[in-house]
């Protein structure tokens, strides 16, 4: 049995973590010593495990390959947006910490014991069924702790650019703490491709670049977080990310995720609604081409009563690519008066593409209103023909219908510059020309 403990990289920087964090990492490594790498027999990894490849032979990325100035000069601004930006490259903070009134930024090396306990008790940090995320917990060398002051309503978003350059593995780590009654917009942009171009094989066992990213968030009573996440690069890279949210009394969470495929892309999004009155609204668009894969897993835990959730994801797969959507709503025994809805609509643009959709409802309370549904289909040739009779070329007609399938979600993104960027990116990606 190959265990995750064999991926035991030597530190490459001189960051000294507090004793409590070092103790936490030692415990994580002990756990990994008896944790096997996911295989196709692992239910939640049965589609993506074959693409993990030989992680046990992969070194940590060479952080000396690019200087701090190189990372800052080379990170791309894909859209024009007035915001503060924090750059994390190869798991290390390479930009100056933003100066935002009411926000506190601390590297993990400077955390207090109380802050460390917050980090180690996050949703992803405590998950026992996420072995690849546990790999991050065992091997991150630095991270960023962001605190939003009580009652603070920030109009300016914070943008975190997570980069991965070069051959090897990096472990970016972020923790966000929203104090009660605060309001905050967080943008996470993943620029993790090592090289551009199409993916040439579905069964690659040779890992070139692997980014293992974790973000944990606590949303205090009456606070609201708007979270936008996008991976905009589609090169030959393996990226496994996880995001966890704790929602306290009357907390509000709104997420918008743009997911583009790569050699292997996976995102686990978990929401725990811990106190009454919490609400979450999850929105996402997944799009793949060539031989790419995107493996998307969401889980909403209704633990307290009088909470509501709504989830709406749309997926488009072309060529020989594959998308996995596994959405789960779990209503606990005491979560009475729950409202929950999930919708996953999928579009296949090729007879060789594959979409695997698995919406799940697990209900243990008896006073709830829940619904879920999924559809998988192809473009309606009658609609294509209708547009062609109006003088629109076949390629353009197909692009109009394909874009129309996702624009409802794309244009609902609350940051206009990002909504426009997503629409432009998808228009280019879904072009039927040539």
Model pLDDT for residues 110-137, shown as the tens digit of each residue: 999 999 999 999 999 999 899 899 999 9
Q: Is 271 helix (H, G, I), strand (E, B) or coil?
A: strand
Q: Is 153 helix (H, G, I), strand (E, B) or coil?
A: strand
Name the nearest CA neighbour of 131 among 267, 37, 25: 37
- pLDDT at residue 261, as a whole number: 81
Give the tokens for residue 374.
Answer: 């999924």
What is the 3-state secondary structure of 50-78?
HHCCCHHHCCECCCCCCCHHHHHHHCCCC
Burial of 356 (0-12, 13-18, 19+ CB in 10 A): middle
Model pLDDT for residues 149-181, shown as the tens digit of each residue: 999 999 899 999 999 887 788 999 999 999 999
Q: Is 352 helix (H, G, I), strand (E, B) or coil?
A: coil
For residues 162 and 84, give the distance between their C-alpha atoms in angstroms, rounded to a whole number.
Answer: 14
Mean pLDDT computed over 294-306: 97
CA distances from 165 to 36, 70, 236, 316, 322 (A): 27, 11, 12, 28, 25
For residues 295 and 323, give the distance between their C-alpha atoms in angstroms, rounded to a whole number.
Answer: 6
Name the nearest CA neighbour of 226 among 279, 286, 273: 279
Mean pLDDT computed over 187-206: 59
pLDDT-derived band at 8, boundaries 50, 70, 90 = very low
**pLDDT(306) > 60:** yes
- pLDDT at residue 6, as a whole number: 55
Give the tokens for residue 84.
Answer: 């503060």
For residues 319 and 351, give the distance between their C-alpha atoms in angstroms, rounded to a whole number.
Answer: 8
DSSP single-letter state for residue 319: T
Backbone angles phi, psi at 409, to 5 degrees: -80, -40
Give the tokens for residue 197.
Answer: 């171009």
């Amino acid at each position: 049995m190959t265990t995750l403990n064999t991926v035991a990289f030597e530190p490459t920087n001189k960051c000294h973590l507090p004793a409590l964090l070092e103790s936490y990492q030692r415990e994580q490594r002990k756990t990994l010593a008896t944790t096997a790498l996911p295989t196709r027999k692992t239910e939640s990894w049965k589609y993506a495990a074959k693409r993990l490849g030989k992680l046990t032979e992969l070194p940590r990325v060479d952080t000396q390959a690019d200087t701090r100035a190189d990372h800052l000069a080379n990170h791309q601004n894909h859209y024009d947006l007035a915001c503060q930006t924090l750059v994390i490259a190869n798991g290390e903070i390479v930009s100056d910490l933003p100066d935002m009134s009411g926000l506190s930024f601390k590297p993990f090396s400077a955390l207090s014991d109380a802050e460390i306990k917050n980090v180690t008790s996050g949703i992803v940090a405590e998950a026992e069924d996420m072995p690849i995320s546990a790999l991050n917990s065992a091997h991150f060398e630095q991270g960023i702790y962001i605190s939003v002051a009580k009652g603070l309503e920030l109009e300016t978003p914070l943008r975190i650019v997570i980069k991965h350059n070069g051959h090897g593995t990096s472990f970016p780590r972020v923790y966000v703490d929203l104090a009660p009654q605060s309001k905050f917009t967080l943008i996470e942009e993943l620029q993790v491709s090592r090289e551009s171009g199409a993916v040439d094989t579905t069964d690659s066992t040779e890992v070139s670049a692997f980014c293992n990213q974790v973000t944990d968030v606590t949303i205090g009573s009456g606070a609201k977080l708007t979270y936008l996440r996008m991976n905009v690069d589609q090169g030959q890279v393996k990226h496994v990310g996880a995001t966890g949210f704790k929602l306290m009394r009357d907390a509000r969470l709104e997420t918008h995720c743009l997911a583009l495929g790569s050699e292997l892309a996976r995102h686990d999004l978990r929401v725990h609604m811990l106190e009454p009155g919490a609400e979450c609204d999850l929105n996402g668009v997944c799009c793949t081409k060539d031989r790419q894969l995107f493996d998307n897993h969401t889980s909403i835990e209704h633990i307290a009563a009088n909470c509501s959730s709504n989830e709406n994801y749309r997926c488009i797969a072309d060529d020989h690519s594959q998308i996995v959507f596994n959405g789960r709503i779990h209503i606990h025994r005491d979560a009475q008066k729950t409202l929950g809805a999930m919708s996953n609509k999928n579009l296949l643009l090729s007879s060789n593409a594959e979409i695997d959709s698995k919406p799940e409802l697990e209900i243990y309370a008896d006073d709830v209103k829940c619904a879920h549904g999924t559809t998988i289909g192809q473009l309606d040739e009658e609609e294509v023909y209708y547009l062609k009779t109006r003088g629109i070329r076949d390629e353009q007609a197909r692009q109009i219908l394909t874009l129309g399938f996702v624009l409802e979600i794309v244009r609902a993104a609350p940051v206009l510059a990002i909504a426009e960027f997503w629409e432009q990116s998808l228009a280019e990606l879904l072009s039927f020309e040539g």
